[in-house]
Amino acid sequence: MELFRIRRDIPFMKHAIVLNAISAITFIAAVIFLVTRGLNLSVEFTGGTVMEVAYEQPADLSAVRQVIESLGYAEVPVQNFGSSRDVLLRLPVQVGKSSGQQSEVVLAALKAQNPAVELRRTEFVGPQVGRELVEDGLKALGMVIVGIMIYLAIRFEWKYAVSAIIANLHDVVIILGFFAFFQWEFSLAVLAAVLAVLGYSVNESVVIFDRIRESFRRYRKKTTPEIIDNAITSTISRTIITHGSTQIMVLSMLLFGGPTLYYFALALTIGILFGIYSSVFVAAAIAMWLGIKREDLIKGGGKKEEADPDDPNAGAVV
């Protein structure tokens, strides 16, 4: 399915150096923000108090959130838990206050707003749990990266695996850089979004690499940059359809999903946009600079070539 077809190849690789220089500057800036400012980790990672309260009627989450913010808590997760009458709160650790003292103060403020509110449970998530979550999250990220490298190396060739992983790590670091710079809360949901972006970005790279392989088979006289330009140009319509529809869905979550889904959708939005950019300008360009050639992908000589409308020798035995 195509929305349109571009007849003349767009010279993407002609501007590869400039575009990758911009990408490198963005990447370095993200690393600097991560090192100097760090991530604003949520309660799941740092430890804190988890409270569950219940109301007689469906809870007004925005009103509950205003009460929590009035107590000096910024961006505390407030969400329904189980039903519309049950509300779950995650309070970060406050210096000089125990978990019990925090829950008492919060419950008193909630009762002042609505006397019918009832405390169902309160528990303290210790730093040890948070440390384990950080370690498990890093392990999950590492396993995804290794799995992607193995898959690409088997399906294509090691040069493609290296270029795709560099492009995917580029996306991940830039997402984390945004969260570090703006000090947005980094929660388990955001970590899930980062892992999803890894898979999403590698899918776009695989599509482009597949088309590069097809173009190598069809066009025997084109140079490698021309082959890559042809592959990217021929997939633009598909990219607009798939990424456009996905972005509409993610933007819907971002705009209408409420505070619970906000940072999850925000991470996906950033990741999708940079995923398209990196697949086209980073992964393909690095593969070109690593020296990909027709022989890397075309194996088993003696096969008949597909017709090349621009090559009078197409179809010859190779």
**Closest C-alpha among 179, 169, 128, 123 to residue 146:** 169
User: What is the predicted pLDDT for the residue at 260?
Assistant: 77
| Residue 197 in domain | yes
What whole-number distance in Å separates Cα of residue 175 and Cα of residue 144?
A: 17
**Closest C-alpha among 112, 77, 210 to residue 152:** 210
> Could you tell me if 32 and 61 lie in one domain?
no
> Could you tell me if 119 and 136 lie in one domain?
no
The DSSP bridge partners found for residue 88 are: 52, 79
> Could you tell me if 142 and 291 lie in one domain?
yes
Residue 176 has pLDDT above 90, yes or no: yes
Residue 4 has pLDDT above 90, yes or no: no
The alpha helices in the chain, defined as continuous H runs, are 16-36, 43-46, 61-70, 99-113, 127-155, 158-182, 188-218, 224-234, 236-256, 259-277, 284-289, 294-297
User: What is the predicted pLDDT for the residue at 261?
Assistant: 87
Residue 108 has pLDDT above 90, yes or no: yes
> Could you tell me if 145 and 287 lie in one domain?
yes
| Residue 271 in domain | yes
Token code pair at residue 36: 């100097």
User: What is the predicted pLDDT for the residue at 128?
Assistant: 60
Tell me the torsion sign for CA atoms 83, 103, 107, 258: negative
| Residue 314 in domain | no
| Residue 174 in domain | yes
CB 315 within 8 A of CB 305: yes
Query: Among 109, 125, 141, which residue terminates a domain?
Result: 125
Range with the lowest mean pLDDT among 38-47, 126-135, 276-285, 304-313? Answer: 304-313
- Say what the pTM is: 0.77
Residue 36 has pLDDT above 90, yes or no: yes
CB 267 within 8 A of CB 193: yes
What whole-number distance in Å separates Cα of residue 137 and Cα of residue 142?
A: 9
> Could you tell me if 165 and 288 lie in one domain?
yes
Number of domains in the chain: 2
> Could you tell me if 102 and 250 lie in one domain?
no
> Could you tell me if 138 and 254 lie in one domain?
yes
What whole-number distance in Å separates Cα of residue 50 and Cα of residue 87?
A: 11
| Residue 306 in domain | no
User: What is the predicted pLDDT for the residue at 93?
Assistant: 81
> Could you tell me if 58 and 156 lie in one domain?
no
Residue 245 has pLDDT above 60, yes or no: yes
What whole-number distance in Å separates Cα of residue 242 and Cα of residue 240?
A: 6
| Residue 286 in domain | yes
CB 297 within 8 A of CB 156: yes
**Closest C-alpha among 84, 46, 88 to residue 68:** 88
| Residue 259 in domain | yes
Mean pLDDT of the chain: 83
Query: Among 78, 102, 125, which residue terminates a domain?
Result: 125
> Which helix (H) or strand (E) covers residue 88, if one does?
strand 83-92
> Could you tell me if 91 and 178 lie in one domain?
no
* Mean predicted confidence (pLDDT) in 198-203: 80
**Closest C-alpha among 230, 237, 242 to residue 284:** 230
Domain range enclosing 60: 48-125
C-alpha dist (Å) from residue 137 to 27, 44, 45, 76, 107:
21, 11, 10, 21, 32
119-171 pLDDT, tens digit each: 998 888 776 666 777 788 778 878 877 887 788 778 777 888 888 888 888 88
Q: Nearest 5°: CA angle at 82, between 78 and 83? A: 85
**Cα radius of gyration rounded to whole Å, the chain:** 25
What whole-number distance in Å separates Cα of residue 118 and Cα of residue 121?
A: 9
Residue 95 has pLDDT above 70, yes or no: yes
> Could you tell me if 121 and 134 lie in one domain?
no
264-293 pLDDT, tens digit each: 999 999 998 888 888 888 989 999 999 888
